[in-house]
Structure 1
Amino acid sequence: MKIKIIDFGTAQQYKVGGKSKMEERYGTPYYIAPDVLNKSYNEKCDIWSLGVILYILLVGYPPFNGSEDKKIIDAVKKGVYTLDEPEWDDVSSEAIDLVKKCLTYDPEKRISASEALEHPWFKKFAKGEKVKKSLASKALSNLKNFRAEQKLKQATLAFIVSQCLTKEETDKMGEIFAAMDKNNDGMLSKEEISEGYEEHFGYPIEDEELDSIFSAIDTDGSGAIDYSEFLMATMNEQQLMSKEKLKQAFKMFDKDNSGTISKQEIREALGNLDEEVADKMISEVDDNGDGEISFDEFERMMNMVAGAKSKGEL
């Protein structure tokens, strides 16, 4: 199994051991290091992110979770995670030790890249010990499942925002968005959000709070907040995911109006999702074992998907 890490749009060269530290705050909530949130970090922030990826590969869910980006970021700031849940029972002690060393809160005590490569877990396989195919398959499946779960929720919320909200529900937020969008480009920049905040509250927003808000709302990482992202962030999630709106979203997936969502319909809706991942998603909530998702099962899946955990063992 080979893992390719992508999306280095905000990456920059940094001299290891340099006196100056980086201060700009970039990153995806699940993977961002607490030292990045504190706006004083060095190359060790990448080790933390790799630790998060390793954690997900091993058990199928992230170490820091939450129903929305702000809650995820709050969890990262605390830096508290668990390694004692049942999913960890079949994970080797060497792998657990490497996770701990990568997710060490203090970057000064966190393992370095060169030290990580010398870790017993890597040495074990460098000596010729082969990774069990079942282990590699499970790790890859865990990563795919996690990404798919997030994609499903985002796809559903995006559909609800674009197709299910009434004019009355969006009018007020639309006016606020338009007032903040000074250059009328249909996007909100950091500067526009900052100006809107000061106009409304009468005092400037702190840079850290602005970064936190932006990180939470800019879900596609475009560098600006579009109207759909604005609505998803500013409207109450219980309102967005009401039974009525979830029924409308359910019909969007249920192309043949059969009253259930099939594996093929999920795959097509999420961009030809792997069959194995679609099977896994269905099995998580398919109470009656018919291989399809009813509305009740769909509703339960949407309510749990933000904190979903893979139930498989590794």
Structure 2
Amino acid sequence: SAGQALANPWVLRGRQGAWSEAPFGGEEFLARLEAFHRQPRVKRVALTAVARQLPDERIDGLQKAFRALDADGDGAVSMVEVYEALQARGHELPQSFDAVLRSVDSDGSGRLDYVELLAATADARLAAQRDVCLAAFHSFDRDGDGLVSKEEFANALLSDDFERVLRQDAVDKLFTEADADGDGFISCADFCRILAAGGDECTADDES
């Protein structure tokens, strides 16, 4: 049940103590970007859904950093701008860092918008907040019956945010991964399980 899912020890840990923001360009910020890149794609999708639900007051520091980067105020920054900003802070970034930024670019636009950057760098405990977790789940559960059908899942993913990079076969694969018991629906428990899952190295197959 949803109540049992939200009593998951990982979720409960998320409600204990204060969360921390990773100052832009710091070691923790880079570590979170790299950790996001290592997550299975289904978890990156779930974290992006969570990022859309985070209240502004919980992420004030990252908002300010993003606005400073987003010189024209259009809500997105180029990967070159992110590279230059990080290098200006003294980081020597390997060529492989391109793949990290591409994994953050969930809509394949070639630019990073605020939600994408937030999904990759917000404190994991924010995603575990009861209200945020439920709101993210309900963003998929369009009819409010407590279960996400394959059609609802596809409708959510094949939206403007993901349509450039996800094909129907990729959506079907993600749904199968998320539907832990194979009953044809994603429950709130399934959704919380995705968020609690560890970050295995992604493979080329994850990116299909």
Normalising by structure 2, report the TM-score. 0.56
CA 261–236 in structure 1, closer or farther in 2 if over 3 Å, else same = same
Residue 248 of structure 1: which of 129, 135, 148 is its match? 135
**Residue in 2 that maps onto 1:206:** 92
Q: Does 1:292 align with 2:182?
A: no
Amino acid in structure 1 at the alignment position of 2:36: E
Aligned-pair CA distance for 1:247: 1.3
The aligned residue for residue 68 of structure 1 is 36
- Considering Cα pairs closer than 8 Å and 6+ residues apart, tell me whether 1 or 2 has the greater RCO: 2
Distance between the aligned counterparts of 2:93 and 2:156, measured in 1?
38
Contact 2:178 2:190 in 1 (8 A): no
- 1:260 is matched with 147
Runs of 4+ in 1 over 6 A off after TM superposition: none
| Structure 1 pair 284–166 and aligned structure 2 pair: CA distance change class (3 A) | closer
Deviation digits for residues 82-116 of structure 1, max 9, x if unmatched?
xxxxxxxxxxxxxxxxxxxxxxxxxxxxxxxxxxx
Q: Cα offset for 1:173?
A: 0.9
Structure 1 residue 160 and structure 2 residue 53: aligned?
no
SS at match of 1:225: strand
Q: Does 1:189 find its partner at 2:78?
A: yes
* 1:58-90 alpha-carbon deviations (Å, 9 max, x no partner): xxxxxxxx9621x47xxxxxxxxxxxxxxxxxx
CA offset digits 1:17-62 (Å, max 9, x no partner): xxxxxxxxxxxxxxxxxxxxxxxxxxxxxxxxxxxxxxxxxxxxxx
Q: Provide the aligned length of Structure 1 versus Structure 2.
A: 159
Which residue in 2 is equivalent to 1:233?
Answer: 120
| Paired amino acid for 1:206 | E
2:159 matched to 1:269?
Answer: no
Structure in which a larger fraction of residues adopt strand: 2
Deviation of the 1:236 alpha carbon: 1.9
1:176 is aligned to 65
RMSD: 3.9
Unaligned ranges ≥5, structure 1: 1-65, 73-148, 309-314
In structure 1, C-alpha distance between the alignment counterparts of 2:36 and 2:154, rounded to whole Å: 25
Q: 2:176 aligns with which of 281, 287, 302?
A: 281
Which amino acid is the alignment partner of residue 176 of structure 2?
Answer: M
Shift of residue 211, structure 1, vs aligned partner? 4.1
3-state DSSP class of the match of 2:94? helix
Taking the TM superposition and a 5 Å limit, the aligned residue runs for 1:21-40 are none
Relative to 1, partners in 2 of residues 1:294 and 1:226: Cα closer, same or farther, differing over 3 Å? closer
Deviation at 1:231, TM superposition (A): 1.1
Q: Distance in 1 between matches of 2:168 and 2:99?
A: 31
Q: In 2, distance between residues paired with 1:280 and 1:259?
A: 16
Residues 70, 76 of structure 2: 8 Å contact kept: yes
Aligned residues of 1:285 and 1:297 also touching (Cα < 8 A): yes
1:301 aligns with 2:194: yes
Contact 1:267 1:278 in 2 (8 A): no
Distance in 2 (CA, whole Å) between partners of 1:280 and 1:225 is 25
